[in-house]
Amino acid sequence: MLGDGAMYEHPGIINFLDRALDPTTGTFLLRARFPNPDHRLIPGMFARVRLNGELDRASILIPDRAVQELLGRHFVLVVGAEDKIERRPVVPAERQGNLWRIREGLAEGDRVVVEGLQKAREGVTVEMAEYVDPPAPEDKLKDGRFCLLRDIVECGGQDAAHQVFEAFYKTKGLPRIQKRVAYFAAKVGVTAGDIQIKDLGYRWASCTPRGDLHFHWKCLMAPLTIIDYIIVHELSHMYHRDHSEAFWNEVDKALPDYRERKEWLRTRGAGLDL
């Protein structure tokens, strides 16, 4: 896609792929060649590229602990006819978190033994129970640090980690915001409408004409005193849509020290980022 939004009609091909992953950005370099018969592509032009990756419809993902190895060969135990254990050789590919992609040896519908492998033996008749994925450990803040699952970074890179951070603040922050809004709405003398946490671009928050409040998820990274200032700021807009003297008088009634909080946000707000 070209800088003006137009789609470039000539597909290209990748002719170089760097195998080294940049650990600081989670990216790697590649080079592509595009035909340019109309001379629409010029040096220094910005564009976005859509890359079609490999689509593998035949492989199957299974929990990695179901795969066993003996003398360099891999196999799994499956439940075959008459609910008897069979040993099946497989050809694994790469791991994806706690799953292993099986390229050959399994078909859709095969029943793979995941639990109780120590007791399972070929030819033994077993009673089947459907496998249920255990709940994933919760991403959480601990001692001021964000605990992130290693698999998320290893499989999805920085983009996946960013999405987890954003989802965490949206989910965990909403109840906190709702409580503070309820507290300050009573002090300001207004009734708030729907409350949402979302990505608001360069705005910390917004108040709709009907009283709905939207907060940027990044403001949840600020100290509570600053969050309170943002809340009071938006609640006061229910009286005055502008930033007139009357508006700031409303803010002052609820937060007499709002100027210090406003200044903190002005000077340090840019640091509330990932």
What tens digit of pLDDT does each residue of 185-209 get? 999 999 999 999 988 888 999 999 8
Q: What is the CATH number of the domain that holds 154?
A: 3.30.2010.10
**Same domain, yes or no: 158 and 263:** yes
> What's the sign of the alpha-carbon dihedral 259, 260, 261, 266?
positive
Domain hosting 257: range is 142-271
Report whether pLDDT(271) > 60. yes
For the segment 56-112, what is each residue's pLDDT rounded down to a tens digit? 667 788 888 889 888 888 999 999 888 888 999 999 888 776 788 888 888 888 888
Average pLDDT over residues 236-261: 94
pLDDT given for residue 134 in this prediction: 53
Domain shared by 261 and 225, yes or no: yes
Q: What is the pLDDT of residue 107?
A: 87
Considering the domain architecture, whether residues 43 and 63 belong to the same structural domain is answered as no
Residue that finishes a domain, picked among 115, 134, 153:
134
* 1 and 89, same domain (yes or no): no
pLDDT over threshold 70, residue 235: yes
In angstroms, the CA 220 to CA 173 distance is 6
| 251 compared with 201, residue with greater pLDDT | 251
Residues of the chain above pLDDT 70, percent: 83
- Contact criterion met (CB below 8 Å) for 84 and 124: yes
Domain final position from 134, 155, 176:
134
Q: Are residues 258 and 152 in the same domain?
A: yes
Handedness of CA 220, 269, 153, 31 (dihedral sign): positive
Q: How confident is the model at residue 243 (pLDDT cuts 50, 70, 90)?
A: very high
Same domain, 78 and 6: no
CATH of the domain at 60: 2.40.420.20
**Burial of 184 from C-beta contacts in 10 A (0-12 / 13-18 / 19+):** buried
| pLDDT at 54 exceeding the cut of 70 | no
Q: Looking at the 3D structure of the chain, how many domains does it have?
A: 3
pLDDT of 182 higher than 90: yes
Query: Residue 119 has what pLDDT?
Result: 77
Q: Give residue for tokens 């229910």.
A: 238
Residue of higher predicted confidence among 185 and 4: 185
As a whole-number percent, the residues of the chain with pLDDT over 90 amount to: 32
* Cα 91 to Cα 102: distance, rounded to the nearest angstrom: 6
Residues 187 and 262 in one domain: yes
Mean pLDDT score of the chain, rounded to an integer? 83
- The pTM of this model reads 0.50
Contact (Cβ atoms closer than 8 angstroms) between residue 104 and residue 90? yes
* Residue 165 and residue 258 in one domain: yes
pLDDT in tens, 112-155: 888 777 777 888 887 777 666 555 445 555 555 666 666 666 66
User: 70: which strand partners?
Assistant: 73
Alpha-carbon gap, residue 114 to 99, rounded angstroms? 12
Q: Is residue 184 very low, low, confident or very high in pLDDT (cuts 50, 70, 90)?
A: very high
Q: Are residues 112 and 176 in the same domain?
A: no
Same-domain check for residues 150 and 235: yes
Asked whether residue 123 falls in the same domain as residue 162, the answer is no
- Answer yes or no: do 155 and 178 share one domain: yes
Final residue before a domain boundary, out of 134, 156, 187 = 134
Q: What is the DSSP letter of 136?
A: P
